[in-house]
Amino acid sequence: MKRIVLALMIFCLISPTSMHAETAISKMKITFSRDGYLWIKEGETERRITEQKALYNYPPQWSFDGKMILYQKEVVGNINGNKKTSNELWVYDIDKKKHQKIFHDGYNPKWSPTENIVAFNDTGVLNISDLTAFYNIALGVDDYQWQPNGKGFIASSSASIRPDGWTHAILYTISIADGYRNIQGLTKNAKKFFVIPKELVKGDVKILSINAESLTYSTNQQWISFIVSPTASWSMDSNMICILSADGKQFEVIDETINMFTPKWAFKNSILGYIAGGGRIVFGFKNKDLKVTEPKTQQTETLTPKNYAELGFSWVNDTSLIVSRVPESEWSNDPDKRPKPALYFVTLHSQKQVRITSPPQKEGDYEPIFLPSINKITWLRKKDLSLKGDLWIADPDGNNLEVWVENIELYAFYPSL
């Protein structure tokens, strides 16, 4: 009876008609990697789009209009001969069915949110490709994110070690409002936005501020979230989630996290969801709590019950989430003995939580993603954290579940979130 009541509650929170949802599903597009090839699925049709087997270490990305796919391909060799492998950047035109290499060795490429141009990093140089040529934009960039209007970037520069200690990690704004093809001087359009303190403290945890990554604007563009990390090995166990107001005046250290989790803003309001807790997973499935924070009120709510840990989550709307949850457990070197997660529907400001999936023994439900355009939840059902699996889809209450794509690795949806 309790499950029926909770299912009705979920239905009331999210209730477009099933006919509309099914129509929308037929218009969804997925690009994904499988066994060394890239594929597209549109409606019920799967189509392989690459002919030669390759290594794809990063998810493909749809352009803002859904007409192109950006992907990274690892290849042996490099034009300067100093590296064993390089990371080629390619774009696939869906209508023309044509692949085009846009750079020989770059990383962290991102489509503009407003036009079909690609930003990417090349050993600290931020560049833009218009798919025919590339243009240098700024120097000394560690991580970056497009501004929502496509007229520039928020970017980070890492701290450096000096004889007297570490310098500061710094956030910059970089404008391309006057165009990116003829920038005169690569420092002219970069403005110092915020200097991150050399050390960040939350409770009894303190870290050095070396890198600032995962820069993300809230949906209403009033806040920017990012993760500050210390030195490389240290960052496996402890990083800090931070927020900064869009005018650069309000800064707050939110909580400790590890680098396998990324904070996510709610769809409308400035509410930040994240999985808090230090210590890499190999130290145990524990101390990983789903929390939400509202910057304006500085109120934080913990949503994970005692004796459980979270492995992923997705917002459903501004008052509910789907989480991938396991019972607390020690790590085991035997994958079959590690806890396997199921999905739970969780509401804010309420103790009511309902389990919505029951994976078979030795399999778990990972990486939930809610797709607002079709009112469906998706996830990977697989045998362990790092393995490929089948992409499943269901209603937010767990009903009408089915396999959407089999044997899938890295993937992206269009329309995206």
What is the per-residue pLDDT across 41-74, written as a single tens digit (0 to 9) for each? 999 999 999 999 999 999 999 999 999 999 999 9
Q: What is the reported pLDDT for 385?
A: 85
The average confidence (pLDDT) of the chain is 92
Q: Tens digit of pLDDT for each residue in 313-362?
A: 999 999 999 999 999 999 999 999 999 999 999 999 877 899 999 999 99
Residue 14, pLDDT above cutoff 60: no
The answer to whether 103 and 127 are in contact (CB under 8 A) is: yes
Q: Tens digit of pLDDT for each residue in 107-150?
A: 999 999 999 999 999 999 999 999 999 999 999 999 999 999 99
Cα 178 to Cα 52, 127, 151, 183, 259, distances in angstroms: 40, 16, 9, 9, 36
Q: How many CB atoms lie within 10 A of CB 198?
A: 14
Q: What is the mean pLDDT of residues 304-321?
A: 97
Give the torsion sign (CA, 94, 97, 102, 105): positive
Q: What does the block give as tokens for 240? A: 């800090």
Q: What is the mean pLDDT of residues 80-109?
A: 91
Residue 5, pLDDT above cutoff 80: no
Residue 376, pLDDT above cutoff 90: yes
Domain locations in the chain as residue ranges: 1-51+304-417
Nearest to 136 by CA among 121, 148, 151: 121
Q: What does the block give as tokens for 85? A: 């492998």
Q: Provide the percentage of residues in the chain whose pLDDT is more than 70.
A: 93
Q: What does the block give as tokens for 147? A: 């501004």
Bridge partners, 251 (sequence order)? 244
The answer to whether 411 and 32 are in contact (CB under 8 A) is: yes
Bridge partners, 68 (sequence order)? 93
Residue 10, pLDDT above cutoff 80: no
Q: What is the reported pLDDT for 81?
A: 60
Q: Tens digit of pLDDT for each residue in 247-265?
A: 999 999 999 999 999 999 9
Residue 8, pLDDT above cutoff 60: no
383 CA to centre of own chain: 22
Q: What is the reported pLDDT for 92?
A: 98
The answer to whether 88 and 103 are in contact (CB under 8 A) is: yes
Q: What is the reported pLDDT for 2?
A: 46
Q: How many CB atoms lie within 10 A of CB 356?
A: 24
